[in-house]
Amino acid sequence: MLVLSYEYWQRVYRGDPGIVGKSFTMNDRSHLVVGVLPPMPQYPGVNDIYMPTTACPFRNGAQWPHNRTARGLTVFGRLRTGSTAQAAQADLAALSARLHAQYPEAYPVTDGYAVRAALLHDELSRSARPTLLALLATTIFLLVIVCANVANLTMARLVRREHEMAVRTALGATRGRLLQQLLTENLLLALAGGTLGVLVAAWGVDALATFAGRFTTRASEIRLDLRVLCFAFGVSLSTGVLLGCLPALPARQSLAADLRAGSGATGSRGRLRARSALIVAQVAISFALLTGAGLMLRTLLKLQQVQTGFDAENVLTARVDLNWTRYREREKISAFADGLLRRLHEMPGVVAAGIGGSVPLDGNTNPNGLNLRIEGQPVDGVVQPRAELDTFTPDYFRAMGIPLLTGRDLTDADRPPATEVVLVNQSFARHWLGPDPVGRRLSADGGKTWISVAGVVADVKQHGLEREPADEIWTGLAFNANRDLRLVVRSRAAPLSLERGIREAVRSLDAEQPVTEVRPLTQVRADALSAPRLTALLLGAFALLALGITAAGIGGVIAYSVGQRTQEIGIRMALGAEPSSVLRMILRQGMALITLGLALGLLGGLAVSRVMAGLVFGIAARDPVTFLAGAGVLAAVGALACFVPARRAAEVDPMIALRSA
């Protein structure tokens, strides 16, 4: 029996409702489709097809069901109503203790076996949580900046309407009537902005789901629904009302002053102080956003500089997952691999070709852990080494560009009935074998059989550029046959030029055997950077937008101040003040606001760095270079925004200014 995932059903069969009841041949056995899953997040991995354990050729094999040391299942359980994860953990700990006592040979205490209970809800979003929280904080900061700018623009607009509002009040308009008028104006603007925002969101929701899909399988749940629409319109309306109308209502006691010609100085100074405070807040929040974007940019640069341990240039990778029925025996798998490698080496342009059990950084391989014993080291009461097991063929390391540090590589003679040897990586040798690892012997069956270490290879970043290399042990494919073959072929020409030849080589050995995941190794490495690259791009875009809004706000406030002080500036220049001194005076006023904003923004930057501590790599979360660079960029942009109105002030004609007094 088979159950199809919803995504696979839609992608391959276009949602055909007649799919249920059809039969498919897999591994030379007929399987009946009995259902299709609803759209739902998958865990722990994304699969196209599900089958019961009894139909799995591996887990239902002759040896696996009765072998306690063959572990290959993920266990799910539903908590009783009112129960907690802590209670489940306690129950599992008790069960684990009983298994240790009842089957000590399968669960040795020295191997460090443990049981951990985790809530599925938390596991589905665990890897995505830090990134999405950082983006949420960034969005909130940007919203606050926009709100501050809306308030600034509204107050600037109301300056020209002070006399109008005073006249309306003098003619009998009540505060409620004025509020009604301002509410109507601002609600129309807010609705227009909210509608535009929803249209932009509808256009970008697929891109957001694709981005989130790199972190969690719940990305398929991202959509525009009624809750999102209500939230968007609620935010737009509330910001339009609160920040657009309430701060701008004229006070009754200023009526006479507003009606007098040339009045309003007191009110203007009050509004100028309010607008200056908003600019300080914008600068502070922009600094926090620049800090977050800078941290991600620096992280991306550090990740790009990470030494992977292999040479990705001119290497093509491919996956050949052999049929479980036709390739049951180790000898058949080994014969297929040997025949394929012979054909690959005969292809023009091929420098080296090998087969391994995984491709570094591809994210599609679950490591197979192996508990080991080292000859001559104590066993009782001592935690024994554990390493990730991988298989390989001769020439695999040369094809990957992984250097051999000491000892020897495998040769064609290293196959049964010869004595099995293994290679270990530098990390395993450093942690467990000491300065002379070659010749040391390891056992994976409690000391019944021993295998010699033939050589040591360099560490490789297998599971992420940000993760330290794990302890690894490499064994020959001829001894430990693995049906999931990963081809690596190094060529003199463009790697993709080999794709057709690889497919033909596989087809010549088995016409029904598919070849999948054909990718240059450089693309595999680039894909490993896609998540931090996209995060840096999003944070950078938000930071640039905030920078532009803040610069516009600073320029507006300084221009407004210059307009209010035109007569004062004219008098200064008539009394002999140089244009350069006027320029410096206005610049000082603007830079004072920016400096205060930067000082307050330092606190926001520290808060952002704390949230992003789990996302940065190669730098401290409170990286001084990032903080200084953010402050420098913001100060430079702010100074430029101040310079334009300051230069206008310096060009004021004293006679015109005095004549308008």
Q: What is the pLDDT of residue 369?
A: 79
- CA dihedral in degrees (39, 45, 47, 51; nearest 10)? -100
Confidence of residue 471 (pLDDT cuts 50, 70, 90): very high
pLDDT over 70 (residue 71): no
By three-state DSSP, how is residue 387 classified? strand
Tokens coding 646:
């300051």
Q: Alpha-carbon distance 352 to 250, whole Å?
A: 81
Give CB contacts under 8 A, 24+ apart, made by 508-511: 508/343, 509/336, 509/339, 509/340, 509/343, 510/323, 510/326, 510/336
What CA–CA distances, in Å, run from 138 to 131, 540, 546, 625?
Answer: 11, 10, 10, 20
Q: What's the number of CA atoms in the CB half-sphere (13 Å) around residue 194? A: 20
The 10s digit of each residue's pLDDT in 357-389 is 889 988 766 677 788 889 888 877 677 788 999
| Residue among 525, 513, 370 nearest 451 (CA) | 370
CB 162 within 8 A of CB 250: yes
pLDDT over 70 (residue 655): no
Q: Alpha-carbon distance 397 to 409, whole Å?
A: 8
Tokens coding 270:
């009050």
User: What percentage of the chain's residues is helix, strand, coil (to nearest 5)?
Assistant: 55, 10, 35
Q: Which helix (DSSP H) or strand (DSSP E) does residue 518 occupy?
A: strand 516-520
Instruction: Give the mean pLDDT of 621-631.
Output: 90
CB 259 within 8 A of CB 170: yes
Q: What is the pLDDT of residue 4?
A: 92
By three-state DSSP, how is residue 368 classified? strand
Confidence of residue 112 (pLDDT cuts 50, 70, 90): low
What CA–CA distances, in Å, run from 411 to 116, 357, 503?
Answer: 42, 18, 26
CB 382 within 8 A of CB 110: yes
pLDDT over 90 (residue 548): no
Q: What is the pLDDT of residue 72?
A: 65
Q: Alpha-carbon distance 28 to 53, whole Å?
A: 17
Q: What is the pLDDT of residue 338?
A: 93
Q: What's the number of CA atoms in the CB half-sphere (13 Å) around residue 560? A: 26
Q: What is the pLDDT of residue 265?
A: 45
Q: Alpha-carbon distance 413 to 420, whole Å?
A: 10
The 10s digit of each residue's pLDDT in 480-500 is 888 889 999 999 989 999 999
Give the lowest-confidence range in 5-14, 97-106, 465-474: 97-106
pLDDT over 60 (residue 250): no
* pTM, two decimal places: 0.75
b (16+ CB within 10 A) / e for 337-364: bbebbebbeebeebebbbbbbbbbbbee
Q: Which helix (DSSP H) or strand (DSSP E) does residue 213 occupy?
A: none
Sign, Cα dihedral of 298, 301, 305, 311: positive
| Residue among 369, 375, 598, 373 nearest 462 (CA) | 369
Q: What is the pLDDT of residue 97?
A: 85
Tokens coding 653:
């004609």
Give the lowest-confidence range in 194-208, 239-253, 302-316: 239-253
Angle at 511 between CA 507 and CA 513, to 5 degrees: 85
Note the Cα 126 to chain centre separation in Å: 12
Residue of 454 and 323 predicted with greater confidence: 454
Instruction: Give the mean pLDDT of 74-100.
Output: 86
Instruction: Give the mean pLDDT of 628-645.
Output: 89
Q: What is the pLDDT of residue 641?
A: 87
Q: Of 228-242, 341-355, 372-386, 583-597, where does the model show the most confidence?
A: 341-355
Tokens coding 321:
């997952």
b (16+ CB within 10 A) / e for 8-30: ebeeeeeeeeebeeeeeeebeee
Instruction: Give the mean pLDDT of 148-174.
Output: 72
Q: Alpha-carbon distance 372 to 446, whole Å?
A: 8
Average pLDDT, the chain: 83
Q: What is the pLDDT of residue 268?
A: 56
Residue with tokens 């004062």: 568
Tokens coding 120:
């599925």
Q: What is the pLDDT of residue 530?
A: 82
CB neighbours of residue 436 within 10 Å: 9
Q: Alpha-carbon distance 142 to 292, whole Å?
A: 12
The 10s digit of each residue's pLDDT in 206-226 is 777 777 777 777 777 777 878
Confidence of residue 429 (pLDDT cuts 50, 70, 90): very high
How is residue 429 annotated by DSSP? I
Q: Alpha-carbon distance 20 to 342, whole Å?
A: 43
Q: Which residues pair with 425 in a beta bridge?
A: 457
Residue of 60 and 602 predicted with greater confidence: 602
CB 439 within 8 A of CB 471: no
User: Rounded to 5 degrees, what are φ and ψ at 453?
Assistant: -85, 120
CB 340 within 8 A of CB 332: no
CB 333 within 8 A of CB 483: yes
